[in-house]
Structure formats: C-alpha cells, structure tokens
C-alpha cells in the first residue's frame, strides 16, 4: 500500500536545536502546518538543563516526555493548541561535545500506533529506559518487561554491532513475547540506532513504525566511517527500504556499487558536510516524499553513520 | 522459435534469461522448471532474511509479472525426473516437455554431515527459502537454542541471524579458526571476538560426534563428551553440486556436470550453468563467476562468441557490523611476502600477500574502505613495486613520489586532532604541544601526555611524531623490543598478555599490533612460552613455535645424531633401570656418558630410532629427562643423612620430591636444582638456579646461582625448618620466575633485574606462596607429561621421524 502524504503519521513535528554558547537555539524543523507551535519555537532558546532539549543536553541522554502539563516543557501551551502531547529529545554527541538535539513531537490518541524507545545498558542487558508508544499500549507493557542480551533482538543487535540496523517483519519469528505484541499492534519495521553518550551508559534508540500510522515510509542507513569510505567526507547507502522504490540495497556481495553520497550534495550530503541533523521539506527528496529527517551518529571521534527517514 | 527448457530457477539461470531477453526478445520459447514452488530470488540474501534485516519479498528478483511479461511458461514446484537427450525431451512430474536447447541449472545442495542423528527433525541445511522459514519458525520459541555446525561464511551468517532472532547460539567449527577458507588466523581471531560480543559461543577444533534427541533434536555431543543443548541444528558444512539429473542423462561429469568455456556439456544441445557445473576441475559457490557463466551461456545460445574464464574472487561476510573482506590467494608460500597493518585500538587488521611485485591476496578486518582498490590490483595483476612501501595505506597514499609516498610524511600529514594513542585519547596536536614545550624524548612525552603509557602499541607512532617535530634532534631508542615485529619489550608483552587476557598467538599479534602476520623465529618461541605460562588451561602449546630440540624431545649432536637421557630422580637409579639403559645402548649402538647432572646420556642415536628407544626406556619405567628443554633439567643431590656421616637431612629424598614436583614444567630458560646434605656441599648446590643446603636446623634455600658462561654463587632466599616448607618455597620461586621473567633469562639474570628484595617480599607472604603453588599445580595438570610416552602406537612411532613440518613457521635454533 502506498501511503499518501496526508495519511496520519506517528510523528507530528520534528525540530533541531544546536548549541550556541550557553544555550540551544532553533536550527530548523518540520512543523507540518502547526504554525503557532512553529512560531513559538523559533523565538525560544534553552539553557543547559532548561526545557526538554536542555534536559537532554544536561543529562547526556535521550529524554522521553509523555505529559506536558505541569512539566518542565516550556512550550506546553503552544503544544496543547497544536494537539501535541508527547516528545522525545535525542542529543547528538561527538564524544563529550554536544552537536545538536533532535526533538520529535507526537499526539497521543486511540489511532496512533508506533514506538519511539530508549534502551539503556544495565549491567549486561538492555532494559527500557523510557518510550512513547501512542496507542500501542500492550506493546508498551511488554516492552517494559523485556530485556535484551548482547546480539539479541533489535536493541541487542544494535548494541552488539555498534551500528544502526533496519529490521523488517518485527511481528513474527522472534523468541521474544514482544514480537507477538508488535505483530498485534501492526508494528512491522524498526530502525535501531546506537546513541553515544558522555555518561557511562550505553543507549540504543529505536523507531518502530506501523503501516497505518507510519513514522516513515522510507528508511536509509548510510555508512560514513573512514574504514568504509576512506578519508573523503562521503557515505555509502548500506541498507534501506522504500514504499515507492522497494529495496534500496543492491544485493551484490561485496557491494562495490552501493549509492554514494558526498558532503554538501543532496539532503544526506548536508549532514556529511555540517555534521548536524538535517530536516528537509524542500526539493531534492526522492519522488513521492515531502519530508525527511537525517540524524548523524558519531563513533570514535568521527561521523560514523547517517540515518534518514522520509514521509 | 526455438524451444528452450531451463531446469532450475536460480541466480545463474535467472541471469541467463535476463541476458537472452535483453539481447534477443522473442528468440526462444522458454519453459522454466523449478523444484521450489516459486521463481528466482537473490539466494545470497537469505541470511539477512533470516536475521530479519530483509524481508522475503525484498529478495525476489523475478516475480510472476516478469515471467509473464517475457512469455516464460513456468512450472514451479514441479521436479524434473529425467532428461532424454535422444528424444530431446525433459520429463517433469506433470509430463514431458520437448526442447531444442536445454539448460541445466540445478544448483547445489547443502552437505549434511552423516553424523548419527543427522536425520532427526530439527536438523536442517541452509540453502533455500524453506530452510530459512523453518529456522525462523524454530526461533520463535522463547528459550530456543541453536547449534550451527560449520564456521564458514554461511554458517556464521546463520548464527548471527539466529542470535538476532533471540536464540542462544553455539558455532562448532572443526578447523582452528573461523572461515579458514577465506581468512587467515589473525582475521579469524578478530571475527571470533566480534561474534563473542554478540553473545555467540564459538568452539573451534570441535569434533562433533553425534546429534541426540528423542524424536527431535535435543543436543549435540562432541568427541570430548561436551553436550550442547539444541532445539535446532543448522548444518553448514559446504555444498555439493546437484548433478544427478545430468549424470543420469549420460552427460560427462566429474564431481559435477562437465562444461566447456561456452558452458556446453558433452551433448551439443545441452548446457549447464551455476553450481551444478565443473569447469576445468573447478566447482563454484560464489555468485560472481555464476554471473560470468550466465553471460557466456546467453551468448552461446544466441550464436555469439564468448568464453568463460576463471577469475579472482572476493567475499564479504553479511553480518551487520562485522566488516571483513577477503580476496585472492593469501596462502603462505615460497617467494611470497606479507605486508601487515594492525590498529589494535580500533580492531583493524590488514594483510597483503605479494609475490614478484604483484598483489596476490588481501585480507581486511575492520577497515574495508580500500577493498575495491586492492581487489582491482589483484584482478589486474598490477605491478606494485613503485608503491610497495605505502601500499598497505591504500590509494590515498599513492601519489608518485609526493609527500605521501614517505611513511613518515603520512604522520606529518595527520591533522592535529588525529588520535595517536587510542587508549588514552591523546591526539597528535597534544603531543606536538608537549614536544614544543620541552618533552623531547619518548619518556617525557609519555609522562606529560600519557601517550603510549598504557598498551604501548602506539609507541612507534609517537616516536614518528617526535621525529617529524624534532627532525634530527630526536633519537629513537630506549628499551629493546622483542624483535623487529614489534616495538614492545618482553616486559611489556608479558604485562599486556596478563592485563588484557590475551590467550592466543593471534590475539597477541592483533591486540599488540605486531607488524608481521604471525611473528618470526625470534618472537614466536617467547610468545608461545608466555602464553602457556600465563594461560595453561586456555592456551594450547604450539610445537611450531619451539626450538627444534624441544620439538624432537632430544638434543641434536654435531654429527646429526641425537642424545637420549632418561630421568633419574634425584640422581638415584636401580639395577633394573641400568640394565634397560645398557640394553638400549647396545641395541641402538649408543655411546654412554655419565653427566654432571647425575644422569646417564646415550649419545649417537639416529633420529629414526628415537621413538623406539623411548619406548624401550618407557617400558622399563623411565621417562624423558627433558635434557633439551627450557624447563626443569635435574635435581642433583648428595647421599644425605641416610648414608653420609656428615649428612644433616635426607637430601636425596628432598631432591627426589622436588624433581617429582617440578618435572615437565616449562620455564623461561633451563632450570637446575641441587640439594646438599650439609654445608660441605657435595651436590654443589650453591651455584644452581635453586640450591638447598641442609643444616641441623633445617634448610637454607639459595637462588639465582650460575655455573656456566657466568659463575655466581646463590643468594639466600630463606631458611626454613621443614622439608614441606622447602618444597613450598622452591616451587613458589620457580612459579614466580615462570610468571615474570623474560624468555631466555636464567633465574640469576631475572633476579638481577627485579632484585632479590622484591622476590623475598613477594614470597614472604604465605598467601602469595600458596597462590603461586596453586597456579603451578594448575599448569602441571596440563604440562607434567612424558613426551616419550605420547607416541602410543607403532604407527605413530613410525611416522614420527618424518613429521609434516611447516618450515616457514619453524622456530630458530
């Protein structure tokens, strides 16, 4: 089924905050017509520890906020007017240096199925730190009671491999009760991303998309490590899935002909050039898509991967 | 329109049809049989489907619409039972189909090792979508466990995939390292380490004995009795061509259907392609040559000229996060040279194999950025003599004599933020700042920046930064490295083997950044000793890393014969032993010499007679005297209080007890002991490595004596009252020496380096002495064996004198 741009989506708003001296300032976003919230956002800045982005910066870890009322969320009033009820802030660290904070905002209602999760290393196993699941309540409950060992499941696989992984058909064929719950919630495609943190903890961030209310209809994983592409600021498309084009991988082994992105060229190239997350609603996107989010992943002092998702 | 029948809808035949339809649409009326109930899919992507990283739909290459569009009559799920070349018909389960031209593309089947229990439900190969589906279904049970038999490409991909699905997975591999057909030992070590990080257990040198279960698979049993629970057993022990159909039709065949360079079989109208063919003695398993065959076959069918030629292959493991690449021929051989690059901090290993200025093979782990470039050099046979010095750094460092052609210039070109010391995160800029601030030696840089202060593998790089920054003012040097393979000293290596728990030679080469593939004749014996001394249970002694006398369990003499010396405990013997020795001397025409160590040496024994004389002496109750080892030689004694009027203690008895406790243990150099029954010192104990002088009040233990090139009196370690204490202290001293000394340092040299005060301080602690004795016991549980008795059968004894020896790995004299 090919979704239209007007179909309901799990994530309503995505925005980028970058450090400027002592504060985080607005550096772009896709507000999908929620103009009031957009206007209040561009005028805002956050000190370290202030508001949701500031908290993610201060604590050096992803932060999930499922209720705005009475919380530290500074734009609660504008968010309420826009129908936004929950948010996740994902700090992008290169070692101890904060590069940016990506914030995604969602609406909780009976329709929206999906999962945005933060898994944390707790002495040899990954446990759920927090997550936003929309209406996928059974999946949320099971996830809260699931742990993953090294190499097991999407979070454990990402944790062990140290690279982003895109998985299909999450609802069947796994030795986890969580897989059955995912299947019942229609959650099929998941992308897991290792999130470096200046704290002692290891985090894995997952986006799990349902067909009815997708987080994205196209996912891409780009490998930018020097050990893969050499010294140039480039990246290879190592995996991807698209509702329009189908598989985005070549099927050859070794894959010498994988699509290559270069710094400053195209949306992924912006991430390679700036080293920062990038949000685009403009030209240059693949046919059939109106928006994209690209998240850089740092490892060992270099921009290692770029994960991009499109709607 | 010619009738073309194709048997098998695999990757090779799919590519044939694509070429045919592109070049001459409508030229053939095609009927396609496939035993699987579906058309063509990308079989090499079954592993990602198994892991969940691809869906089954994604890997379909030719769907029903494609076949319909090209007018292909598909007979999927129908097995072909016979080919009649005389009538030119193919018989399927649902009837006959005539052909003008026939293509056999029946592929290959997984080889199921015929172990007892191989036919139990739950034992499957890994070949097609059905196998993949069965494994996915098996994984969907909480607590499910899998054993993968075969640590090759496909087996490891299956293991990683099943682990991702949530199973507990064990890989059994019969060779010494994983993917031994594609990787060398060093890369295999890194791969095993990577898989362990994913929670996959790997057992190499695994002799699988049987598969057990009551009506279904329950466990796998190894030859040593180990049992591994398994609800699924994946057989991944290679493939066998499915050539039976062609053979039954009378086509010429060897291990598979024989084809010529046009992919024609012995029948001019029958062709074969893919894994079911044999070309010039070669079988095929990787997809690249299959696609070449498909191109050739399409042209042959269209009457065009083309010829299939063998070409170099490359491969990559499809396990996300495992970056390894291998191409060409990387076996060792005369005239071949290695260029090796290691970056232990980042887990990188690269090895190039060169012969006659051509790159023959490449193995890369952790850094595959230049894989394509290296593969091109291999395929093209490029002359690499001009770029040899910097070849390993890849194309970025080739520039025709520019600054990048000089290895030092590569360091000069590094930006200030480039990390030099991975352990302490010290970048080049920090080091340069320290140098400019006055730190002009390695030690001062180390002290100020911590660069090279941990594992030390970046020492060379730090020295290069010093050289680049200071120019001629910098003089490299300092402690002497083990050999040219490393910048590290013996002391560094010993410390790091312990601290980083390095338990194999491959681990040492990689983690300590050895610049050669697997060491040299200088370092290998030392590393072999350090590993077996520190990890007696985990490490397996490598005879190839031993001196030739140690390998032969005998000392070679100047005329090429050997000496044989049985052990005489404490210098005591019996008439029966002497008779046996005399008989052996006569039988093997040996000269007889009484040694200074109170033993009898039989000289002039031919190499081929060694196993036989050992057996004769074994049969008389004697064991090897280890007169050739870096280990305990003798414990010399006097007759002691039993016989001597001056004897204060039972020196002979103590000597025998010490020898029986210590024999067989490997040490950094040879070790000699003596026990004298009184201060008159008839056993000459005061010039031994450990010498005990008995006195009325007990035992005076001296250590670190010498009576060879250097002559030195022992130094008093301690005085003790009882025999038990004397044995405990002596053993603790030997174990401390075993654990800390540099290889080929006798105890007196080692004590001179560390100081007797330090030795006393350690051994004065009763708990420490007990611990040292306990560790010695563990080591002896493995190594206190008689090498003469290792040759049990007549056959073993006969074959011993001409052992297959890998001379390239032979340790030096």
Q: For residue range B43-58, what is the model confidence (pLDDT) as tens digits?
A: 888 999 999 999 999 9
Chain A residues with CB under 8 Å of B59 CB are: 247, 251
Q: For residue range A135-151, what is the model confidence (pLDDT) as tens digits?
A: 999 999 999 999 999 99
Reported as a pLDDT band with limits 50, 70 and 90, residue B208 is very high
pTM of the predicted protein model:
0.76
Q: What average pLDDT does range B654-675 have in this prediction?
A: 96
Is B575 an 8 Å CB contact of chain A? no
Q: What average pLDDT does range B494-522 have in this prediction?
A: 90
pLDDT of residue B575 exceeding 90? yes
Token pair for B422: 């991975």
The pLDDT value given to residue B795: 74
Name the residue facing A166 among B53, B166, B200 (closest C-beta): B53
Instruction: With CB atoms and an 8 Å threshold, state whether A150 touches B323.
Output: no
Q: For residue range B689-737, what is the model confidence (pLDDT) as tens digits?
A: 999 999 999 999 999 999 988 899 999 999 999 999 999 999 999 999 9
Chain B's closest residue to A190, CA to CA, is B53
- Lowest-confidence pick of A29-38, B289-298, B786-795: B786-795
The pLDDT value given to residue B411: 74
Q: For residue range A3-14, what is the model confidence (pLDDT) as tens digits?
A: 444 567 899 999
Instruction: With CB atoms and an 8 Å threshold, state whether B52 touches A170.
Output: yes
Q: Which of B150, B159, B174, B177 is nearest to B363 (CA)?
A: B177
What is the topology classification, in CATH, of domain A109-215? Beta-Lactamase (3.30.450)
Cβ(B200)–Cβ(B151) below 8 Å:
no
Name the residue facing A254 among B42, B143, B316 (closest C-beta): B316
A97: helix, coil or strand? strand
Cβ(B16)–Cβ(B104) below 8 Å:
no
Is B416 an 8 Å CB contact of chain A? no
Chain A residues with CB under 8 Å of B395 CB are: 230
CA distance A227 to chain B (A): 4
pLDDT of residue B279 exceeding 60? yes
What is the topology classification, in CATH, of domain B323-411? Enolase-like; domain 1 (3.30.390)
pLDDT of residue B498 exceeding 70? yes
pLDDT of residue B813 exceeding 50? no
CATH for B632-769, among 3.40.50.2300, 2.60.40.10, 3.40.50.300, 3.30.413.10? 3.30.413.10
Chain A residues with CB under 8 Å of B415 CB are: none
The pLDDT value given to residue B782: 93
- Mean per-residue pLDDT over chain B, rounded: 89
Q: What is the separation of C-alpha B494 from the centre of its chain, rounded to a whole number of angstroms?
A: 20
Cβ partners under 8 Å of residue B2, min gap 6 = B27, B28, B29, B100, B101
pLDDT of residue B403 exceeding 60? no
B2-108+241-301 and B112-237, same CATH topology: yes
The pLDDT value given to residue B169: 97
Is A227 an 8 Å CB contact of chain B? yes
B384: helix, coil or strand? coil
- Quote the Cα angle for B77-B81-B87, to 5°: 125
pLDDT of residue B384 exceeding 60? yes
pLDDT of residue B168 exceeding 50? yes
User: Which of B54, B161, B397 to probe by mutation at the A interface, max A CB count within 10 Å?
Assistant: B54
Name the residue facing B316 among A149, A231, A253 (closest C-beta): A253
- Lowest-confidence pick of A207-221, B225-239, B415-429, B702-716: B415-429
- Quote the Cα angle for B670-B672-B675, to 5°: 170
Instruction: With CB atoms and an 8 Å threshold, state whether B163 touches A151.
Output: yes
The pLDDT value given to residue B395: 84
Q: What average pLDDT does range A258-277 have in this prediction?
A: 90
The pLDDT value given to residue B423: 62
Rounded (to 5) percent helix, strand, coil in chain B: 35, 20, 40
- Quote the Cα angle for B350-B356-B360, to 5°: 40
pLDDT of residue A214 exceeding 70? yes
Which ipTM was obtained for this model?
0.86
Q: For residue range B563-573, what is the model confidence (pLDDT) as tens digits?
A: 999 999 999 99
CA distance B71 to chain A (A): 24
Is B198 an 8 Å CB contact of chain A? yes
The pLDDT value given to residue B774: 97
Q: Which of B245, B229, B89, B105 is nearest to B167 (CA)?
A: B229
Distance CA A209, CA A182 (A): 10
pLDDT greater at residue A144 or residue A256: A144
Residues 130 through 149 of chain B touching chain A, CB cutoff 8 Å? 136-137, 139-144
Is A254 an 8 Å CB contact of chain B? yes
User: Which of B200, B369, B417 to probe by mutation at the A interface, max A CB count within 10 Å?
Assistant: B369
Chain B residues with CB under 8 Å of A170 CB are: 52
Chain A residues with CB under 8 Å of B318 CB are: 253
Reported as a pLDDT band with limits 50, 70 and 90, residue B534 is very high
Residues 129 through 188 of chain A touching chain B, CB cutoff 8 Å? 149-153, 156-157, 160-163, 165-170, 172-177, 179
Q: What average pLDDT does range B323-351 have in this prediction?
A: 85
The pLDDT value given to residue B400: 44
SS (H, E, C) B240-282: EECCHHHHHCCCCECCCEECCCCCECCCCCEEECCCCEEECCE
pLDDT greater at residue B595 or residue B426: B595
Pairing label, strands B426-427, B419-421: antiparallel
Q: Which of B555, B548, B767, B775 is nearest to B665 (CA)?
A: B775
Beta strands in B166-244 (DSSP E): 168-172, 201-203, 208-212, 219-222, 227-229, 232-235, 239-241
pLDDT of residue B416 exceeding 90? no
The pLDDT value given to residue A253: 67
User: Which of A124, A173, A208 to probe by mutation at the B interface, max B CB count within 10 Å?
Assistant: A173
Reported as a pLDDT band with limits 50, 70 and 90, residue A263 is confident
Reported as a pLDDT band with limits 50, 70 and 90, residue B811 is very low
The pLDDT value given to residue B193: 92
Instruction: With CB atoms and an 8 Å threshold, state whether A300 touches B346.
Output: yes
Is A229 an 8 Å CB contact of chain B? yes
Q: What average pLDDT does range A197-225 have in this prediction?
A: 93
User: Which of A94, A96, A151 to probe by mutation at the B interface, max B CB count within 10 Å?
Assistant: A151
The pLDDT value given to residue B401: 40
Q: What count of CB pairs under 8 Å joins A to B?
A: 126
Q: What average pLDDT does range B567-596 have in this prediction?
A: 95
Reported as a pLDDT band with limits 50, 70 and 90, residue B417 is confident
Chain B residues with CB under 8 Å of A172 CB are: 136, 140
Token pair for B56: 């089954």
Pairing label, strands B690-695, A203-210: unpaired
Superfamily of A1-108 according to CATH = GAF domain (3.30.450.40)
pLDDT of residue B262 exceeding 90? yes
Distance CA B671, CA B665 (A): 10
Chain B residues with CB under 8 Å of A160 CB are: 197-199, 321
Q: What average pLDDT does range A164-188 have in this prediction?
A: 88
Residues of CATH 3.30.450.40 domain(s) within chain A?
1-108, 109-215
Cβ(B723)–Cβ(B715) below 8 Å:
no
- Top-level class of domain B2-108+241-301: alpha beta
Chain B residues with CB under 8 Å of A94 CB are: none
CA distance A241 to chain B (A): 9
Q: Which residues pair with B362 in a beta bridge?
A: B327, B352
Instruction: With CB atoms and an 8 Å threshold, state whether A170 touches B314.
Output: no
Q: What average pLDDT does range B623-637 have in this prediction?
A: 94
B112-237 classified as CATH 3.50.50.60? yes
CA distance A224 to chain B (A): 10
Q: For residue range A44-68, what is the model confidence (pLDDT) as tens digits?
A: 999 999 999 999 999 999 999 999 9
Chain B residues with CB under 8 Å of A153 CB are: 164, 166
pLDDT greater at residue B620 or residue A282: B620
Name the residue facing B165 among A166, A174, A225 (closest C-beta): A174
Backbone angles phi, psi at B108, to 5 degrees: -140, 165
pLDDT greater at residue B410 or residue B665: B665
Chain B's closest residue to A224, CA to CA, is B369
pLDDT of residue B812 exceeding 60? no
Is A1 an 8 Å CB contact of chain B? no
Reported as a pLDDT band with limits 50, 70 and 90, residue B435 is confident
Give me the percent of chain B exceeding a pLDDT of 90.
66
Chain A's closest residue to B315, CA to CA, is A254
The pLDDT value given to residue B710: 86
Reported as a pLDDT band with limits 50, 70 and 90, residue B406 is low
pLDDT of residue A225 exceeding 80? yes
Chain A residues with CB under 8 Å of B197 CB are: 150-151, 160
Name the residue facing B315 among A169, A249, A254 (closest C-beta): A254
Cβ partners under 8 Å of residue B574, min gap 6 = none
Cβ(A207)–Cβ(A115) below 8 Å:
yes
B553-624+786-813 classified as CATH 3.90.480.10? yes
Name the residue facing A254 among B55, B369, B371 (closest C-beta): B371
Reported as a pLDDT band with limits 50, 70 and 90, residue B427 is confident
Is B372 an 8 Å CB contact of chain A? yes
Chain A's closest residue to B159, CA to CA, is A151
């Amino acid at each position: 089924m090919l979704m239209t741009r007007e179909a309901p989506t799990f994530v309503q708003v995505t925005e980028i905050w970058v450090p400027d001296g002592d504060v985080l300032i607005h550096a772009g976003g896709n507000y999908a017509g929620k103009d009031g919230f957009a206007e209040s956002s561009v005028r805002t800045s956050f000190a370290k520890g202030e508001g949701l982005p500031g908290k993610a910066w201060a604590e050096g870890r992803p932060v999930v906020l499922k209720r705005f009322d009475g919380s530290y969320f500074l734009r609660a009033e504008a968010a309420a007017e826009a129908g936004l009820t929950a948010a996740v802030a994902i700090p992008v660290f290169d070692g101890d240096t904060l590069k940016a904070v990506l914030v995604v905002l969602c609406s909780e209602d009976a329709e929206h199925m999906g999962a945005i999760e933060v898994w944390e290393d707790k002495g040899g196993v990954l446990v759920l730190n927090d997550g936003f699941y929309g209406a996928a309540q059974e999946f949320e409950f099971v996830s809260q009671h699931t742990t993953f060992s090294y190499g097991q499941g999407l979070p454990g696989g990402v944790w062990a491999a140290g690279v982003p992984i895109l998985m299909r058909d999450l609802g069947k064929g796994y030795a986890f009760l969580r897989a059955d719950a995912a299947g019942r919630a229609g959650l099929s495609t998941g992308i897991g991303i290792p999130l470096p943190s200046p704290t002692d903890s290891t985090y894995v961030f997952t986006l799990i998309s349902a067909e009815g209310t997708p987080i994205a209809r196209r996912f891409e994983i780009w490998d930018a490590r020097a050990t893969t592409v050499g010294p140039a600021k480039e990246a290879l498309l190592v995996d991807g899935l698209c509702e329009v084009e189908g598989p985005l991988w070549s099927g050859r082994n070794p894959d010498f002909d994988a699509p290559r992105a270069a710094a400053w060229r195209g949306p992924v190239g912006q991430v390679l050039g700036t080293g920062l997350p990038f949000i685009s609603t403009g030209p240059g996107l693949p046919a059939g898509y109106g928006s994209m989010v690209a998240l850089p992943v740092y490892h060992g002092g270099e921009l290692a991967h770029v994960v991009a998702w499109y709607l | 329109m010619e009738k073309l029948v194709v048997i098998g809808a695999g990757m090779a035949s799919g590519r044939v049809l694509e070429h045919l339809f592109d070049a001459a649409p409508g030229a053939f009326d095609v009927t396609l049989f496939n035993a699987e109930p579906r058309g063509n899919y990308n079989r090499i992507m079954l592993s990602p489907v198994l892991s969940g990283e691809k869906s089954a739909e994604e890997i379909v290459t030719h769907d029903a619409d494609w076949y319909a569009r090209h007018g292909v009559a598909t007979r999927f799920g129908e097995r072909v039972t016979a080919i009649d070349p005389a009538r030119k018909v193919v018989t399927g389960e649902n009837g006959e189909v005539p052909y003008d031209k026939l293509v056999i593309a029946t592929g290959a089947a997984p080889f199921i090792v015929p172990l007892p229990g191989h036919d139990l439900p739950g034992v499957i190969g890994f070949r097609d979508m059905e196998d993949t589906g069965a494994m996915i279904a098996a994984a969907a049970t909480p607590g499910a466990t899998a054993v993968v038999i075969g640590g090759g490409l496909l087996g490891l991909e299956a293991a990683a995939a099943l682990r991702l699905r949530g199973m507990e997975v064990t890989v059994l591999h019969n060779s010494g390292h994983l993917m031994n057909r594609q990787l060398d030992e060093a890369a295999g070590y890194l791969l095993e380490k990577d898989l362990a990080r994913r929670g996959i257990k790997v057992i190499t040198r695994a002799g699988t004995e049987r598969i057990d279960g009551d009506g279904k698979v329950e466990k796998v049993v190894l030859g040593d009795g180990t049992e591994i629970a398994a609800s699924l057993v994946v057989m991944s022990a290679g493939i066998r061509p499915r050539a039976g159909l062609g053979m039954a039709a009378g086509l010429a065949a060897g291990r598979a259907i024989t084809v010529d360079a046009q992919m024609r079989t012995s029948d001019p109208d029958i062709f074969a392609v893919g894994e079911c063919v044999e070309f010039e003695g070669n079988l095929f398993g990787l997809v690249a040559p299959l696609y070449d065959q498909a191109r050739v076959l399409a042209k042959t069918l269209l009457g065009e000229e083309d010829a299939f030629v063998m070409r170099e292959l490359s491969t990559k493991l499809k396990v996300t996060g495992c970056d390894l690449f291998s191409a060409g021929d990387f076996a060792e051989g005369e005239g071949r040279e290695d260029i090796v690059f290691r970056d232990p901090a980042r887990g990188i290993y690269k090895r190039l194999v060169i012969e006659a200025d051509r790159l023959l093979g490449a193995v890369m782990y952790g850094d595959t950025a230049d894989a394509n470039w290296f593969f091109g050099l291999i395929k093209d046979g490029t002359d690499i003599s001009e770029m040899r010095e910097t070849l390993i750094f890849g194309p970025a460092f080739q520039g025709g004599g520019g600054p990048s052609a000089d290895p030092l210039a590569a360091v000069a070109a590094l930006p200030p933020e480039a990390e030099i010391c991975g352990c302490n995160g010290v970048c080049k800029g920090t080091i340069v700042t320290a140098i400019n601030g006055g730190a002009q030696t390695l030690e001062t840089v180390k002290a100020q920046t911590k660069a090279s202060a941990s594992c030390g593998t970046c020492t060379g790089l730090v020295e290069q930064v010093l050289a680049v920054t200071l120019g001629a003012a910098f003089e490299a040097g300092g402690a002497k490295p083990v050999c040219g393979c490393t910048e590290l000293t013996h002391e560094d290596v010993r410390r790091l083997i312990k601290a980083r728990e390095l338990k194999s030679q491959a681990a040492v080469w990689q983690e300590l950044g050895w610049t050669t593939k697997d060491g040299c004749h200088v370092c290998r014996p030392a590393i072999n000793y350090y590993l077996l001394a520190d990890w007696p249970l985990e490490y397996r002694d490598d005879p190839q890393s031993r001196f030739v006398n140690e390998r032969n369990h005998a000392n070679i003499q100047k005329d090429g014969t050997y000496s044989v010396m049985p052990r005489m405990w404490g210098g005591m013997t019996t008439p029966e032993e002497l008779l046996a020795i005399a008989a052996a001397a006569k039988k093997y025409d040996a000269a007889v010499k009484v040694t200074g160590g109170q033993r009898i040496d039989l000289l002039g024994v031919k190499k081929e007679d060694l196993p036989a004389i050992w057996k004769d002496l074994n049969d008389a109750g004697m064991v090897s005297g280890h007169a050739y080892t870096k280990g305990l030689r003798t414990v010399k004694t006097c007759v002691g209080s039993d016989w001597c009027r001056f004897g204060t203690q039972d020196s002979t008895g103590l000597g025998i007890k010490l020898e029986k406790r210590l024999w067989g243990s490997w040490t950094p150099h040879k070790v000699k002991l003596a026990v004298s029954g009184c201060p008159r010192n008839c056993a000459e104990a005061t010039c031994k490595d450990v010498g005990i002088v008995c006195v009325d009040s007990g035992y005076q233990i001296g250590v670190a004596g010498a009576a060879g090139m250097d002559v030195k009196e022992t130094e008093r370690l301690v005085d003790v009252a009882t025999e038990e204490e004397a044995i405990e202290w002596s053993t603790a001293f030997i174990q401390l020496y075993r654990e800390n000394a540099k290889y080929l340092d006798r105890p007196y040299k080692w004590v001179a380096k560390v100081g007797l005060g330090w030795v006393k301080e350690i051994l004065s602690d009763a708990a420490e002495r007990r611990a040292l004795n306990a560790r010695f016991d563990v080591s002896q549980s493995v190594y206190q064996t008689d090498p003469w008795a290792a040759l049990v059968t007549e056959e073993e004894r006969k074959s011993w004198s001409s052992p297959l020896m890998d001379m390239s790995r032979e340790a030096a004299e």
